[in-house]
Chains A and B, each alone.
Chain A
């Protein structure tokens, strides 16, 4: 996986209204103070405020090909302080939704992760909130709740090491584990 997580403004603008509704429990604050000094914890995320409906299904994501098998792309990334699914990953989540809806015996574990900033146990709860947002999205797309389990790892299983924004961005993720 090698996503470049810098499409923030685009992501903010393009969040689907349905997702904004889903994340009404609030933000997913991993902690703030990124190394470049954005003090105050406002962050760049959308944190559940109402969003204008965006650009629709975002193109030919790799996942869209995979209606017959488990989609290849199994990790999506999140903005800082956010549990909103970014527009560039909607196609990925849609592909998983299609696969799960079409294969009622398939099961997936949504593994929620945060970056390392902030306290561990609070981050464990934030990782659950992030994975829960994906779970609700799948449910709205017709996936049975019995097919989906949420397990948060918080900051305990970073994908990469490093205390910089690049590493943080790669660690803020939800993994579809089949």
Chain B
């Protein structure tokens, strides 16, 4: 087994040590032997952000690379909603190092930041040197050389975008993360369901599982090495856990009734889930090693769609104990439930932000089902998506974006919206319905 990419830095900041990064790549190698994907996603901006920061990512010098790395960087930054990349057609000059930059030209284009770089190829390896500059301050903020194999240049681009994003915003970049999602093709008895993982921009998708019975609710382990999901392959719903590198998997629950909505605890040792083994759907926590079950809720209504607080001490979940679905919070160790949502009569499938301060959920209002954000301190709820039948919000590990399922022309597609609702994107799929996106944790 060989590594596909090897990144090193020539500067002091080593937030991403090469050794850990290589360990992540080993997992990728194993994934690549799995059947290749049919469902590639491409980005399509539906609503821009007029307050985004202008940036120019000049094409990198160097011929014959299979991937346009500067374009990957530019697309990542644009898709974040924080940046407005300058189109290449508007660039007067194409400098490839800081020495060649004439700042006045870029100031006249209202560009705030400038990225230049060059790539050199040696055998199967590519060295990419890039620099980030502050146009107004006429200063260099970052300079780094990244080494990658030629067949994994997109990953190098995501890494560079992460560094630039963090340098300017102070927020850790989440471009080097992955998505899991479910597709379906066909209708009725001829439907084929598949589970995929892909890069955060939808590229490099790989099939994890395919079945002629439904697949639901993919959830990432905190180390991003495993997925829990629900599969009906035994003609009933059951919860499975699958190791992405080895493909090895285990059936965790197969109780009578619902086995649904698994989510990993922050420490990775437990799964919260919804089971109806005792009559109606309730929230349970399973210790994965011992398979020991602890029942958390106890009511005659539906309880489902749990999510963990970042400290692992409490769970939020959907309950219709008040009549319609609303979101509640309860300590894992028991006690009484506190109702969190009070705006409108349909609030469900909540997901907490990484800092635990915001709740993202599906809210039904005058615009139908939309992704909404509720500030947990003030209780104020605002819709942040503008989409058809939004479902299944999942928050990026840096809290800046929410990916969700929506519809376009009768087909299920993925949408993404910045956490403040200012920019929205659509990720159409090549074929079939795409739904239930799950954003991975950071990969290192």
A residues in contact (CB < 8 Å) with B: 25-27, 29, 31-33, 39-41, 109, 116-122, 124-126, 128-129, 149-153, 156-163
Contact = CB atoms under 8 A, between A and B. Distances in A.
B144 to A, nearest CB: 42
Interface string B363-389: 010101100000000000000000011
Given A119-B318, A125-B304, 19 more contacts: A26-B301, A26-B320, A29-B324, A31-B346, A33-B364, A33-B368, A33-B369, A39-B366, A119-B392, A120-B216, A121-B260, A122-B325, A124-B260, A125-B281, A129-B302, A151-B235, A156-B214, A158-B187, A163-B388
A163 B433 CA distance: 13
B237 interface: yes
A120 B391 contact: yes
Contact of A126 (B302, B323, B364, B369): B302
Nearest to A116: B389
A27 to B, nearest CB: 8
A124 B187 contact: no
B274 interface: yes
Contacts of B237: 124, 151-152
Contact of B348 (A122, A157, A158): A122
B346 A41 contact: yes
B437 to A, nearest CB: 12
Given A121-B304, A159-B188, A40 B281 contact: no
Contacts of B391: 119-120
B281 to A, nearest CB: 5
A157 B364 contact: no
A116 B410 CA distance: 12
B236 to A, nearest CB: 5
A-B CB proximity, top 6 nearest: A156-B214, A119-B349, A125-B302, A119-B348, A121-B261, A125-B281
Given A33-B369, A116-B389, A161 B281 contact: no
B417 to A, nearest CB: 17
A100 B346 CA distance: 38
Contact of A153 (B232, B320, B323, B392): B232
A122 B350 CA distance: 11
B247 to A, nearest CB: 24
B304 A29 contact: no
B20 to A, nearest CB: 34
B444 interface: no
11 contacts: A26-B301, A32-B364, A33-B364, A119-B305, A119-B348, A119-B349, A122-B302, A122-B348, A122-B349, A159-B187, A163-B388
A136 to B, nearest CB: 12
Interface in B233-257: 235-237, 256-257
Contact of A157 (B214, B324, B368): B214
Nearest to B281: A125
Contacts of A39: 366
Interface string B87-107: 000000000000000000000
Contacts of B257: 128, 150
A120 B215 CA distance: 11
Contact of B389 (A29, A126, A159, A163): A163
A29 B320 contact: yes
Contacts of B76: none
B191 interface: yes
Contacts of B260: 121, 124-125
Contacts of B366: 39
B345 interface: yes
Contacts of B364: 31-33, 41, 118
A163 B407 contact: yes
Contacts of B193: 156
A118 B369 contact: yes
B11 to A, nearest CB: 45
A116 to B, nearest CB: 7
A173 to B, nearest CB: 12
A175 B363 CA distance: 30
B217 interface: yes
Contacts of B436: 120
A174 B237 CA distance: 17
Nearest to B325: A122
B64 to A, nearest CB: 45
Contact of B346 (A25, A118, A128): A118
B344 to A, nearest CB: 9
Contacts of A160: 187-188
Given A32-B364, A120-B391, A25 B301 contact: yes
